[in-house]
Copies of this chain bind each other. A is one copy, B any other.
Amino acid sequence: MSETIIERSRLSSFVAAVFVKAGVPEDEAALIAESLTEADLTGVESHGVSRVPIYLKRIELGIVNAVAKLDIVADLPGALVLDGCNSMGIVTGVRAMDMAIDKAETSGSVFVTVRNSNHFGTAAFFTQRALARGMIGYAGSNAPSTMAPWGGIKPYMGTNPFSIAFPAGKEQPIVMDMATSVVAQGKIILAGKEGKPIPFGWAISKEGDPTDDPKTALEGTVLPFGGPKGYAVSLMLDVLSGVLSGAAFGPYLCNMWNDFKNPQNVGHYFTVLDVKKFLPLDEFKQKMDTMIRDIKTSPRAKGVEEIFLPGELEYRKREKRLAEGIPLGQKTFSDLAEIGARMNIHFS
C-alpha cells in the first residue's frame, strides 16, 4: 500500500482551511485540525484526518452547526451541566474541558456533562489540557451502537471511549485513552477503507460468527474488552455520557456514518481534579515518577523487550512523526486531495 508522507504543520493548515471554507470560525477550525493531526501523530489514524470527509459532509449538509455554541444549563459548586447545541464535538469538548479546568481551581473537583453534541475525536485531546495546570483530566463519551450486551448479537452500546491523563514530574505523563471494545470501531472502518482484513476476536458477524472481514464486522457487533467486564464499563459510560447528560443513549444515538438527516445527540462527560487541593503537587509528581520508573524496570516475561506505561507508545510515535512527517494511507490522501480540488485549497 503506497503512503504519502506529509508534515504535521502542512496537514494541519490544510485541514483548518477546509473547515474555514465550510463556515467554521478560524479558531474552531484550528482546534479541529489540531485534534485530527494530533491523532495521526500519535498513530491513532482511525481518529485522524481520515475523519475530515465525514465531519465536512455533516457540516455542509447542515446536520452539524458550523459555528459552535455551548449553553450552561446549570452551574453548581462541583458540577457543570452543558448543552453542546449540536456543534462540532471537538470544539465543544475543548470548551467544556477548559471551563472545568478553571472551575477546578476553586472546587477541587468538577464533573461536567454535555448533551446535544457530536463525535468528539480522541478523548486524550481533552484530558491532556489539564496537565499543564497540574490537574488530572478525564473524558468519556458515548457513540453510535456497535456493540451487543454480553451474550447478545445485536449492537446496543457504542464502543464508548474514555481517557484519563495524570501529570508526572520528570517522566512523561501517563495518558490512557481506550475504547471499551477490544479495539475502536474506527480501526475497523479504516481497515475497510484501506481494504485490509481485521484480526479475529475484534468482532462477530450479525449471526454471531467470528469474522476477519471489516464489512461483515461492521454489519455485526464488535466485542467488549475483557468480556462481561468491558460490557459493564461500556454501559457505565453510556449512562454517564448519555442518560445523565440528557443526550441520547444506546441505539437512540444517531450514526454519524449513515444517518444524514438527524443530529447525533452524542453525550460526553468530563472530570477535572486539581491535584494540589489533595496533596502538594510536588509530592504527587515525585510519586508518579517513582511509579513510572518502578514499572519501567519491573522484571519482564519471556519475549517481552519493554514494559510500557499507558500513552508511552503514542508519545514515541508522536516524536518520530513530528520529525519525519505523518504517513497518510492512499484512500485518506485521495479523499483529502479531492476535497482540496473541490474547495480550491492547495493540498499535497
Identify the A interface with B (CB < 8 A): 74, 76-79, 81, 104, 106-111, 113, 136, 148-154, 156, 164, 166, 174, 176, 178, 182, 208, 225-227, 229-230, 232-233, 235-236, 238-240, 243-246, 249-251, 271, 273, 275, 277-279, 283-284, 287-288, 291, 294-295, 298-302, 304, 306-310
| Stoichiometry (number of copies) | 2
CB-CB under 8 A from A288, the residues of chain B are 239, 243
CB-CB under 8 A from A291, the residues of chain B are 238-239, 243, 249-250
CB-CB under 8 A from A310, the residues of chain B are 232, 235
CB-CB under 8 A from A166, the residues of chain B are 239
Which of B109, B245, B251 contacts A110 (CB under 8 A)?
Answer: B109
Known contacts A78-B77, A176-B236, A229-B226; decide if A152 and B244 are in contact (CB<8 Å): no
Could you tell me if B108 and A277 are in contact, using CB atoms closer than 8 angstroms?
no
Could you tell me if B225 and A229 are in contact, using CB atoms closer than 8 angstroms?
yes
Could you give 16 example pairs across A and B, Cβ below 8 Å?
A74-B278, A77-B77, A77-B107, A79-B108, A79-B273, A111-B273, A149-B295, A152-B299, A153-B300, A176-B232, A226-B229, A239-B288, A244-B273, A244-B279, A246-B279, A249-B291
In angstroms, Cα B201 to Cα A219, docked, is 31
In angstroms, Cα B148 to Cα A275, docked, is 26
CB-CB under 8 A from A136, the residues of chain B are 239-240, 244
Known contacts A78-B78, A244-B284; decide if A111 and B113 are in contact (CB<8 Å): no
In angstroms, Cα B278 to Cα A302, docked, is 50
Nearest chain B residue, comparing its CB with the CB of A244: B278
Which of B78, B106, B108, B229 contacts A74 (CB under 8 A)?
Answer: B108
Closest chain-B Cβ to A94's Cβ sits at a distance in Å of 21
In angstroms, Cα B307 to Cα A230, docked, is 15
- Could you say which of A156, A278, A288, A298 has the most chain B C-beta atoms within 10 Å of its C-beta? A278
In angstroms, Cα B166 to Cα A287, docked, is 33
CB-CB under 8 A from A249, the residues of chain B are 287, 291
Which of B149, B164, B240, B243 contacts A287 (CB under 8 A)?
Answer: B243
Please list the 9 inter-chain residue pairs (A to B) with the smallest Cβ-Cβ separation, ordered nearest first: A78-B78, A226-B226, A79-B108, A76-B108, A109-B111, A78-B107, A225-B226, A77-B77, A79-B109
In angstroms, Cα B74 to Cα A8, docked, is 44
Known contacts A244-B279, A307-B152; decide if A301 and B79 are in contact (CB<8 Å): no
Could you tell me if B81 and A299 are in contact, using CB atoms closer than 8 angstroms?
no
Known contacts A74-B108, A108-B74, A244-B273; decide if A299 and B153 are in contact (CB<8 Å): yes
CB-CB under 8 A from A226, the residues of chain B are 182, 225-227, 229-230
Could you tell me if A76 and B174 are in contact, using CB atoms closer than 8 angstroms?
no
Closest chain-B Cβ to A219's Cβ sits at a distance in Å of 14
Could you tell me if A74 and B298 are in contact, using CB atoms closer than 8 angstroms?
no
Known contacts A74-B277, A287-B243; decide if A300 and B152 are in contact (CB<8 Å): yes
Nearest chain B residue, comparing its CB with the CB of A243: B287
Closest chain-B Cβ to A31's Cβ sits at a distance in Å of 26
CB-CB under 8 A from A243, the residues of chain B are 284, 287-288, 291
